[in-house]
Amino acid sequence: MPPALRITGLSKIFKFGFIPKKVVALDGVSFEVEKGEIFGLLGPNGAGKTTTIKCILGLIRQDSGSIEVLGQPAASSHVRAQIGFLAENPYIYEFLTGREYLIFSAKLHGHHSTTAKKKADELLSLFRLEEAADRRLGKYSKGMLQRIGLAQALLNDPQLLILDEPMSGLDPIGRKEVRDLLISLKNQGRTLLFSSHILSDAEIICDRVTLLVKGKAQAIEKVKTLMKRIEAYEVTLSGVKNIKLDGIPHETITRSELQWLVRVSSISEIDAILALSKKYGFSIEAIVPQRHTLEELYLERLQ
């Protein structure tokens, strides 16, 4: 089975000014998005995330490289009909109600009036917008606008959903609502590609991520594998006033008369501390694994 999305060697150079100055937006970017997964396209502003998405959608043309959606060239009109899209800052007709906006958008997809109304009602229910359905969009909160935007992106029942910075500008409650919606869409069997620079959201919902830095794909990581990777252990000790940890490789983070916080790198060093605690009678209050985080990987790749 082909992946939902395959990008190979994607490059794009923009030229600006009277005497053209070249700006490399994408430089040989390659990655695949498997069917049924949430894939995060991460990077700082200007890294090439939106340019990648525009190339996938055919809004701009790449200079080189290939893009396949569901095993077919992305330029095919049949393939584009399988894609749903939510822009970072979508233009919303603020004088239309939520229901009117979805019906209007459904008709643009070719739905008959009766079908468009039924589809709109189904999506308003799915995104918990029934009470606001007949309220003008200009009165919607940012979180509600993101939900109506997601509803619009599902009107053509797409197999691949592409979201550009869907968490942008949302408060913590709005971000949680959108995160929950994205997970529910994945559970329905949809494939999601979303770009973001908010790493905590990607860490929670993504199956895999790739990091874009200066137009290059720096790494592709399975988030679960990344979160299982233990770098060290922080051990809290109490009653160690006159005890030394000589012979045990460790880093003392904080120390007081009542309590020490030390960092060790392996289970064998924890075992050695346990043996000392039995010998000298001090207590081990806590052992906390320190895991490699997506943020650390991100910062490491930016250097």
* DSSP class per residue in 257-287: SSEEEEEESSHHHHHHHHHHHHHH--EEEEE
* pLDDT of res. 52: 94
What is the torsion angle, in degrees rounded to the nearest 10, for the CA atoms of residue 287, residue 294, residue 154 and residue 122? Answer: 20
* pLDDT of res. 155: 92
Q: How many CA atoms lie within 13 A of 303 on its CB side?
A: 6
* pLDDT of res. 234: 87
Residues in the chain: 303
> How far is it, in rounded angstroms, from Cα 269 to Cα 296?
24
Give me 134's structure tokens. 């007949």
So where are the chain's domains? 5-226, 230-292
* pLDDT of res. 172: 79
Cross-strand bridge partners of residue 165: none
What string of pLDDT tens digits covers the 303 residues of the chain?
789 999 999 999 998 877 788 889 999 999 999 999 999 998 888 888 999 999 999 999 999 999 999 889 888 888 888 899 998 877 788 899 999 999 999 998 889 989 999 999 999 998 889 999 999 999 998 888 888 998 999 998 899 999 988 887 777 777 888 888 888 889 988 999 988 877 777 878 889 988 888 888 887 778 777 666 667 888 898 887 767 777 787 877 777 777 888 888 888 888 888 888 888 888 888 888 876 666 666 666 666
Strands (E) in 34-82, as ranges, are 38-42, 64-69, 72-73
* pLDDT of res. 98: 94
Asked whether 64 and 29 are in contact (CB, 8 A), the reply is: no
Cross-strand bridge partners of residue 217: 212
* pLDDT of res. 299: 66
* pLDDT of res. 137: 93
Give me 156's structure tokens. 């053509």
The class that CATH gives domain 230-292 is alpha beta
Within this chain, domains 5-226 and 230-292 share the same CATH topology: no
- Please give the backbone phi and psi of residue 279, each rounded to the nearest 5 degrees, phi first: -75, -40
Helix residue ranges, H only, the chain: 49-57, 77-80, 98-108, 113-126, 142-153, 172-187, 199-205, 223-228, 267-280, 294-302
Asked whether 33 and 191 are in contact (CB, 8 A), the reply is: yes
> Which is it for the CA torsion 187, 126, 182, 153, positive or negative?
positive
Q: Which CATH architecture describes the domain 5-226? A: 3-Layer(aba) Sandwich (3.40)
